[in-house]
Amino acid sequence: MPAETTKLPVFATIRDVFAVTARHIGELFRFSWPWLLALIVISGAIYWSLYPIERQSMAENGTGSNTLWFTSLLASTVIGAMIAVPWHRRILIDEHQTLQSGLQFDSLKLSYAAKALQLMFAMAAPGMLMFSLMPPSEAEAEFSAQDAFWTIAIIAWLTALLLFMNRFSLALPATAVGDPNAGFGESWRASKGNTWRLALVSFLATLLPLLLLFIALEHVMSGGMASVDASETTTRLSFTIANVFTEFVAMLIGMLYVTFLSLAYRHFAGAMGSRTVRADLS
């Protein structure tokens, strides 16, 4: 019978996310750099080729196109999965990673990518639906009841993601180490009673550093973060460079999230029936 679920220690987990990542950061770059290079090339092609569609969508609707958002999210999810599997295995089973193992494409990575894409679709679909239904915004129009409705809807969607996606996402590190109990249902049941704890750790250890970094970049980059907006940037090249840089930074910070999932999975592994992970953080 699965072990009783225990409460995730919030601040100890946040500390360990940064400590474990810092300890193995050199190894992470050694096996992941080809995938990071692929991210730069593929993202560059996506943002360059879809720039006209994005400009048109911004001009007609006041919002970006779902085509660009979905395509870039698809590419970053698949590439992120290729990096995440060896990173999970380094943390959870002390398996040292090399460039060869980082480039290896096997059934674990395929299964991981499939689960990551399922989560991505579940996460993005409500947002894509909302943005497609939102009426075009008028720059000088007053804030209306309709604007309030869509603002509340977006906040509710983002809050639901923060609260619930973490609990399903524990299936990802379980998949990376070949845990037979790696389903979304097992992940949800094992983390029962820890919704707010998981949300708090994921926010403080991953989302907050990302937001702070982008705020810092706003003051450093020429044109600020407005360069990622097709309605604000002046050229196709500057739009592409700004967005590729943003994708690259988000991928690096995303590895903190992979570390967080690894440590959370280790904590709940007993409740998921796993005998695979190591008990230490070496």
* pLDDT of 135 strictly over 80: no
Per the listing, tokens 């990096």 go with 83
Q: How far apart are CA 264 and CA 191, in angstroms?
A: 9
* pLDDT of 49 strictly over 80: yes
* pLDDT of 273 strictly over 50: yes
Spatial contact of 269 and 93, defined as CB atoms under 8 Å apart: no
* pLDDT of 282 strictly over 50: no
* pLDDT of 34 strictly over 90: yes
Q: How far is CA 70 from the centre of its chain?
A: 14
pLDDT tens digits, residue range 242-261? Answer: 889 889 989 999 999 999 99
Specify the pLDDT at position 24.
Answer: 94
Q: How far apart are CA 59 and CA 62, in angstroms?
A: 6
Among 86-95, 184-193, 262-271, the minimum mean pLDDT is found in 262-271
pLDDT tens digits, residue range 67-78? Answer: 888 899 999 999
pTM: 0.85
| More confident site: 29 or 232 | 29
Spatial contact of 133 and 154, defined as CB atoms under 8 Å apart: no
* pLDDT of 133 strictly over 90: no
Q: How far apart are CA 102 and CA 117, in angstroms?
A: 20
Query: pLDDT-derived band of residue 219, with 50, 70 and 90 as boundaries?
Result: low
Among 99-103, 105-109, 140-144, the minimum mean pLDDT is found in 140-144
Q: How far apart are CA 121 and CA 165, in angstroms?
A: 12
Query: pLDDT-derived band of residue 276, with 50, 70 and 90 as boundaries?
Result: low
